Amino acid sequence: MIDVRESERYNGDFEPIDLIAAHIPGTINIPFKENLNENGYFLPVDQLRIKYEATFLDKEMSDVVVHCGSGITACHSILAICHAGFDFPNLYVGSWSEWSRN
């Protein structure tokens, strides 16, 4: 499972929306902003592919789940992943907002 929120939110240092600051156990943090260059455009396809290859090594994309705080920015990372040539991963729609309330 990939958490695409900023590192400060993932690490529990800052939480502007939800009641609890932290992350879902077992997730890895790949902030969605790392998909972008300094002008706010997606990185070139080859750079995105290299960036995600190590994460997806020996994994079926049907086993990969992407989430964020509320499900919105996770879609941005899913688009970047697909733009890089990978199959669609899953989206945890409820994301951290749902998980942290349960």
Residues with a known catalytic role: 68
How far apart, in Å, do the first and last CA atoms of the chain sit?
A: 18
Query: In the block, which residue shows the tokens 């993932």?
Result: 10
Residue ranges in 4-83 assigned as alpha helix (H)? 7-10, 45-56, 73-83
Question: If DSSP codes are grouped into helix, strand and coil, which group holds residue 3?
Answer: strand
